[in-house]
Amino acid sequence: MAKKGLARWISHLDLVRALERALRRARIPVALSRGHNPLPRVSFASALGLGATSEAEYFDVELSRRMPVSAFTVALASQLPEGLELLEAREVPATSPSLGARVNLAAYRVTLALSDSGAREAFRAAWTRARTAEGLVIPRHREGRVRFLDARPLVHSLAIAESPDGLELRLDLVLDPRGTVRPEEFVAFLAQEAGIDLPPDAIRVHRTGLFRQEGERRRLPWELY
């Protein structure tokens, strides 16, 4: 599913609810969880940060009754609100492990509005320093306490290119069940290291893919069977 335009301001929780409602409107027979409070069995691979767009929002929907993929696609696509677009659906065995457990890499395109060439150089230099000697230790503030996250093992790769009004980053981040670094968090950290002022609206994050990376091999979530 793609998340475009204004839908980027829909939080992950709200997105999940919107999808559940779209599935209900589409009369798709979604399996319900057992227990006192039966919930539709829908699960996302990885939550996208508020403000980011994406062309790679993968989710599993468990059905109580088998239906043709084409029927599913047609029914759901017509019920998705503006900005959410169903790109493709595929059938996977109900026994397969959860999506979250299958993917381990998220690819982003991050654009930074940086008109000043000095600032662009400083940003590049900050990355060169961070990836080498000085490390990449990001402070996290929560409830008045600071914790430090060593983000180096979580940044798989970063390529920086010039764009008409700033920089364009190709950023691949590791999704580790023990912790991940958010793209905007990583970029804000580098900007701070570089001593540049990057207001929140100068960063645009777009997710381009979710993968399972094993050695050199990179597969899409549904190529894993």
Question: In the complex, which residues of this chain contact other proteins (CB under 8 A)?
Answer: 5-6, 9-11, 14-15, 17-18, 20-25, 27, 32, 36-40, 50-51, 79, 81-83, 199-201
Q: Toward other proteins, which CB reaches closer, 200 or 215?
A: 200
Residue 149 has a CB neighbour count (10 Å cut-off) of: 16
What is the smallest separation between the CB atom of 64 and other proteins, expressed in angstroms?
9
What is the smallest separation between the CB atom of 45 and other proteins, expressed in angstroms?
20
Q: Toward other proteins, which CB reaches closer, 6 or 101?
A: 6
Q: Toward other proteins, which CB reaches closer, 28 or 136?
A: 28
What is the smallest separation between the CB atom of 72 and other proteins, expressed in angstroms?
16
Q: Toward other proteins, which CB reaches closer, 39 or 87?
A: 39
Q: Toward other proteins, which CB reaches closer, 85 or 168?
A: 85
What is the smallest separation between the CB atom of 181 and other proteins, expressed in angstroms?
19
Residue 128 has a CB neighbour count (10 Å cut-off) of: 12
Instruction: Single out the residue of 165, 156, 40 nearest to residue 105, CA to CA.
Output: 156
What is the smallest separation between the CB atom of 20 and other proteins, expressed in angstroms?
7
User: How far apart are the C-alpha atoms of 211 and 157, rounded to whole Å?
Assistant: 14
Q: Toward other proteins, which CB reaches closer, 44 or 211?
A: 44
Quote the strand ranges of the chain, DSSP E: 2-3, 42-44, 53-54, 59-61, 84-85, 105-113, 137-142, 145-150, 155-163, 166-174, 203-214, 217-219
* Cα separations in angstroms, 17 against 13, 63, 217: 6, 17, 34
Coil/strand/helix, residue 122: helix
User: How far apart are the C-alpha atoms of 31 and 26, rounded to whole Å?
Assistant: 14
What is the smallest separation between the CB atom of 5 and other proteins, expressed in angstroms?
5
User: How far apart are the C-alpha atoms of 94 and 105, rounded to whole Å?
Assistant: 23
Q: Toward other proteins, which CB reaches closer, 13 or 146?
A: 13
Q: How many residues does the chain have?
A: 225
- Residue at 188: amino acid letter: A
What is the smallest separation between the CB atom of 81 and other proteins, expressed in angstroms?
4
